[in-house]
Structure 1
Amino acid sequence: MVNPLFLDDEHEMLRDQIRRFVAEKVHPAADQWEKDGCVPREILREMGELGFLGIRYPEEYGGSAMDTRAT
């Protein structure tokens, strides 16, 4: 089957990693965060450490240096 989004292996790895993160960290607490009106800072920090934030920025600035499709 042809990949309709034209994603390469790096994109697929990122998607898998984000999918796992959401299943393990976000989904179990999402209803409470919605009630609280905020996401805990430690979750945002972990997302940053995993490279989910600033995906298109160069690595020297803390990004992942990926393309628009990765965002």
Structure 2
Amino acid sequence: MGLLSVDLLITLQILPVFFSNCLFLALYDSVILLKHMVLFLSRSKSGRGQTGRRSPKLQCNPHSQGQR
């Protein structure tokens, strides 16, 4: 019975450390994922705004195609 209680004591000492590490890693991964999502969304919003604009040099003018 003494060996079983030692095993149980060791198990009870290890489990909180293991679960706290898992909790920390889950929280860390969530923060990193959120950071990447915010960065991705900010880039996609800024990229979408630039595709709608054209500089005056790139606009096609059908009346000036044959003239120089």
- TM-score, normalized by the shorter chain, greater than 0.5: no
* TM-score, L = length of structure 2: 0.30
Structure number with higher helix proportion = 2
Larger Rg: 2
Query: Relative contact order (alpha carbons < 8 A, sep ≥ 6): 1 or 2 greater?
Result: 1
